[in-house]
Chains A and B, each alone.
Chain A
């Protein structure tokens, strides 16, 4: 398949060609979906370098396992799942290296967050996109990995509670309370960031 044919082919054609060993077809798939895959890794890791590294690792894994992709979901969804799993593995490794369980601390402080006053003004209203992005980025960085992950899987990946529970290895109730806590915390952080200096 020529470069021109690659760029005009749909994903499933490219996947089939890549499964037959066509590296050019795989390169085209990378070019098409690299931003999304990087965005997913960055959302979870909060570190540009790590996100680039893990997203590349995800593409390598995908190449190795391409024969296992049978088109039950879209290629982009399949790729994203590989990325999420790699990020979760990495985050768990990092968590194990810490001396205390930040996650446990967050669960304990969840009660405090539930009692926070409701943010009544939309804290992102009227902001320029660049500024908005910067504030959300800052706020997301202040969440623990468990709370950030649940936000990423639900808001960005549009997974249902049940799917998130399966991916993160916890109960649906835990997913619901983590999501609630994370959203409330985000709202409070965004409101604080909007306050004048």
Chain B
């Protein structure tokens, strides 16, 4: 049996953590006497310190033994290939600044506007359930989108004035992605 009785469950966590900090050299000087007194009078405290030291020592050995299981040439060729790929193609994760700006300024508002137009179209369809056959044209409240609907053929066309010419793009609703 490798373990000592009695258990150390009753030890206060705070004191245990101070003991660990003492081992790691992170215990403030003012707290050191509390830990050294505990170590002097309690065998379990000394056993716990020894356990923590043994674990630390074992881990140090482990780290030093790890070696890359690939040859220098093979490993380097993988890195070189990735660098080559990156330098040939622009990063997907990081689009150019001008593209990000364009997306923020125009595509998001245009998307929101398109959603509004689709909603308006659907509502219009429900208000005129197959009765009207004539084509019609609707201008949205923002004045930069038009729909053309032919109920007879079931065709709807939507024009977007792109980019927005009335400053709408600069006043996005709060729930629109920027």
Contact = CB atoms under 8 A, between A and B. Distances in A.
Interface size class of B (residues with CB under 8 A): 35 or more
Interface stretch (B72-80, B97-105, B170-178): B72-80
A20 interface: no
A122 to B, nearest CB: 4
A124 B54 contact: yes
A115 interface: yes
B3 A119 contact: yes
Given A48-B69, A115-B7, A191-B2, A56 B54 contact: no
A166 interface: no
A118 interface: yes
Interface string B13-41: 10011001100101000000000000000
Q: Is the interface of A mostly helix, strand, loop or mixed?
A: helix
B8 A115 contact: yes
Contact of B79 (A60, A156, A187): A60
A50 to B, nearest CB: 13
Interface in A22-71: 23, 27, 30-31, 34-35, 38-39, 42-43, 48, 52, 55-57, 59-60, 63-64
Interface size class of A (residues with CB under 8 A): 35 or more
A52 to B, nearest CB: 6
A30 B26 CA distance: 34
B165 interface: no
A93 interface: no
Interface string A62-105: 01100000000000000000000000000000000000000000
Contacts of B20: 176, 179-180, 183
Contacts, number: 140
A191 B3 CA distance: 9
Given A31-B76, A60-B83, A176-B17, A155 B54 contact: no
Contacts of B5: 117
Contact of A118 (B26, B51, B59, B76): B51
Given A31-B72, A183-B55, A118 B66 contact: no
Contacts of A194: 2
Contacts of B11: 114
B47 interface: yes
Contacts of B50: 118, 120, 122
B56 A183 contact: yes
B76 A30 contact: yes
A116 B4 CA distance: 10
Interface of A: 23, 27, 30-31, 34-35, 38-39, 42-43, 48, 52, 55-57, 59-60, 63-64, 114-124, 129, 132-133, 136-137, 140, 151, 154-156, 160-161, 176-177, 179-180, 183-184, 186-187, 190-191, 194-195
Interface of B: 2-5, 7-9, 11, 13, 16-17, 20-21, 24, 26, 44, 47-48, 50-52, 54-63, 65-70, 72, 75-76, 78-80, 82-83, 86
Given A52-B69, A118-B51, A120-B2, 18 more contacts: A30-B75, A39-B67, A42-B66, A57-B82, A114-B11, A115-B9, A116-B7, A117-B4, A119-B51, A120-B51, A122-B50, A136-B59, A155-B63, A183-B20, A183-B56, A186-B55, A186-B58, A190-B58
19 contacts: A31-B72, A31-B76, A34-B68, A34-B75, A43-B66, A59-B79, A60-B86, A116-B7, A117-B3, A118-B3, A119-B54, A123-B54, A136-B62, A155-B56, A156-B63, A176-B17, A186-B59, A190-B58, A191-B2
